[in-house]
């Protein structure tokens, strides 16, 4: 069965410090992996995705994520956090059966402290 785990409900980081939001997955076949961000009272916004190719994926707002096949992880990273990065972050994996179904993690709330 496909699954996604975000082990941290909340991550606190000081402004200017690097941030990491963790995600691990379990999927049959090659994974399609995604990160989305949700600001208060808004829908989810796409940040980045991994389909194939380079394991380091760069996305919007200076975020990047590293695909690690051996550890089945796809952690989200940013070298220098901004207060405006404070939001809810979701990792998602695409179902490999071709039905376009996504499985979302439970979300990690990132709080960047000034």
Partner 1 sequence: IAGITQAPTSQILAAGRRMTLRCTQDMRHNAMYWYRQDLGLGLRLIHYSNTAGTTGKGEVPDGYSVSRANTDDFPLTLASAVPSQTSVYFCASSAQSADTQYFGPGTRLTVL
Which positions lie near partner 1, rule CB under 8 A?
Answer: 32, 34, 36, 41-46, 49, 51, 90, 92, 94, 99-107
Tokens 């989810």, residue located = 44
Closest listed residue to residue 36, CA positions, set 72, 6, 81, 13: 6
Nearest distance in Å: CB 89, partner 1: 11
For residue 81, the tally of other CB atoms under 10 A from its CB is 21
User: Minimal distance in Å, beta carbon 92 to partner 1?
Assistant: 8
Q: Which is nearer to partner 1, 49 or 75 (CB)?
A: 49
Nearest-angstrom CA–CA distance, 13 and 81 = 7
Tell me whether residue 19 or residue 48 sits nearer to partner 1 (CB atom). 48
Q: Measured from the CB of residue 44, what is the shortest distance to partner 1 in angstroms?
A: 4
Angle at 47 between CA 43 and CA 52, to 5 degrees: 130
Query: Of the two residues 38 and 72, which places its CB atom closer to partner 1 in the complex?
Result: 38
Q: Which residue number, 44 or 82, has a Cβ lying nearer to partner 1?
A: 44
Shortest distance (Å) from residue 3 CB to partner 1: 12
Structure tokens at 85: 């990065």
């Amino acid at each position: 069965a496909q699954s996604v785990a975000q082990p941290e409900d909340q991550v606190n980081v000081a402004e200017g410090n690097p941030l990491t939001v963790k995600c691990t997955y379990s999927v049959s076949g090659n994974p399609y992996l995604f990160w989305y961000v949700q600001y208060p009272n808004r829908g989810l916004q796409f940040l980045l995705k991994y389909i194939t190719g380079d394991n380091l994926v760069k996305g919007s707002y200076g975020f990047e994520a590293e695909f690690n096949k051996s550890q089945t992880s796809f952690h989200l990273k940013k070298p220098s956090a901004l207060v405006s990065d404070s939001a809810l972050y979701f990792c998602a994996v695409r179902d490999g059966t071709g039905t376009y179904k996504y499985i979302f993690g439970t979300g990690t709330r990132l709080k960047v402290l000034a």
